[in-house]
Structure formats: structure tokens, C-alpha cells
Amino acid sequence: MTPLELATADGARIAPSNASSAFDIQGMTVSYGQKPAVFSVDMSVPKGSMTAIIGPNGAGKSTLLKAALGIVTPLAGSVRVFGAPLDAGRAKIAYVPQRASVDWDFPTRVLDVVLMGLYRELGLLRRVRKGHIADAMDCLKRVGMEDFADRQIGQLSGGQQQRVFLARALAQKAELYLLDEPFAGVDAATEAAIIDVLKSLKDAGKTVIAVHHDLSTVPEYFDRVFLINTTKVAEGPVGTTFTEANLQTAYGGRLAGDQFGNAAIGG
């Protein structure tokens, strides 16, 4: 099934009434200027799974996530979260943006960043109580950052910044976690800590979707893959979908052959 066959003239499509689906994207097309960055992409992620979004640089991995969350406005496409429209399902989503997307010299402490995760609960005016702070500290503990609660965020290393972002997402007590390159430029200890947290989320029945760039760790970290290069290349369980043929299609000649052999199933 090629993605082009999925596109219809008017873009109208009937969402699959899949009750066990956590996150559905239908016909997502995003364009910066005239050239589509993401073209007519469908995605269907079952509840309780861990999915890696992979593809070459500039393939639209991050853009797909951002468009699905309404951070950038798509040209076309719809999103359903646990069967409900996006805005009804927002409370169930926690998003972890790319670490480099913010200015870390912002005047705020680690704990304050985590407390941002409670915004939906706190609203405009409700006061931050001891219970909220205890919740936030708990999330910091889960990523091993409880000793840094009072630190100014500018003093953190890259890996520590990433953990704080993850703690903020945990504070939202979401059902669906969308992470944009959570392992980019972090130290080995942080990578291990993050994957531990993500696996514990999965064990608790949560759904995890992460943009990922390191092909060698895909089978170890994730149970599903989603390959994209502007259009969708393939989606499914790692065992059947993370194949040399699919990687070849997604990456073209941009990876050396032996890298496929190391990473892909049956390579």
C-alpha cells in the first residue's frame, strides 16, 4: 500500500472506528511554502505501544508531530486522540519538544518548568499548593533530577535539560506521550534514564511515540516503527516493518549498506 493511493481528491476520509487506537492521523499534509514537508500521511498507533518515528533528515518527522498537535497549521489532515477530536483529547497528551527549541537562559528554576506540566490543572489563578509541588518533585525523582529542583535551568547539561522536559510531561499524567528527538545529544546515562521511564510508562499501559534518529537502538527501545520520508513509507511492529527494504525506501542511498545490516531485522 503506497501512501499516494490513500490520498483522495477532496481529502475526505472516514476515520477507522478502531477502539484500541490511541492516536490516529489522517491525510496530514504540511507545507512550508510550495513544497510539502509532509504529504498525505496516515498513522494509527495502538494503545499501550511504543512507536519510533524514523526517517532521514528533513523527512518531516518533527513536522508531522507538530502538525498533529496544532503547533504548525497543516494544509489538510485530521487527528483523533483515543477516538476523540484533538481538542477534546488534549488533556490526555503530553508533548516533549526538542530541547534546542527553547532558550535555556530563561529566568526559571527546574521545579517551575515541571510545574508548567500542571497548568491544565492549575489554570489561570489557582494557587500552587504543597500537593502540586510534591507531585512535581515526584516526577523529578522519576528522571533522577530531584537534587536539581532549585537550580536555574541555564546551569543544566543537555541531558539534564532533556530529563526536566520529560519530568514536565510526566507531571501532566497523560495517557499519550509524544516526544521529539528525546535522545538527541544526551549522555549515555540520560539515554538509559529516559528509556527506563518510557518503558515504565508502557508497562503502565500508556502510549509512547518518539521521533528517533538512532537506527541501531530501534529494536531495543521500541516495539513499533513508523518510517517517513515526506510520505509514509511503512508502519507496523518492529519485527515485520523495520526491514532493510523499508529502510532503503525511506533513506534512499543516504545510508551505507552495512548500517542497514546492523540495524534492520533480516538485514
Instruction: Out of 2, 20, 101, 216, name the contact with another protein by CB under 8 A.
Output: 101
Instruction: Out of 20, 102, 254, 261, name the contact with another protein by CB under 8 A.
Output: 102
Which one, 179 or 234, has the nearer CB to another protein?
179
Q: Is 107 in the site for another protein (CB under 8 A)?
A: yes
| Cell, residue 10 | 477532496
Q: Is 143 in the site for another protein (CB under 8 A)?
A: no
At 170, the amino acid letter reads L
| Cell, residue 96 | 516533549
Q: Is 74 in the site for another protein (CB under 8 A)?
A: no
What 8-state DSSP symbol labels residue 243? B
Q: Is 84 in the site for another protein (CB under 8 A)?
A: no
Instruction: Out of 4, 14, 19, 124, name the contact with another protein by CB under 8 A.
Output: 124
Residues 202-261, interacting with another protein (CB under 8 A)? none
Instruction: Out of 20, 116, 185, 254, name the contact with another protein by CB under 8 A.
Output: 116
Minimal distance, residue 243 CB to another protein, in Å: 32
Local structure of 191: helix, strand or coil:
helix
Q: Where are the beta strands (DSSP E) in the chain?
A: 21-32, 35-46, 50-54, 76-81, 84-85, 93-96, 176-180, 207-211, 224-229, 231-237
At 219, the amino acid letter reads P
At 161, the amino acid letter reads Q
Question: How far is the C-alpha of 1 from the C-alpha of 106, rounded, in Å?
Answer: 47
Binding site for another protein (CB under 8 A): 66, 69-71, 87, 90, 93, 95, 97, 101-103, 106-109, 112-113, 116, 119-120, 122-125, 152, 168, 178, 187, 189
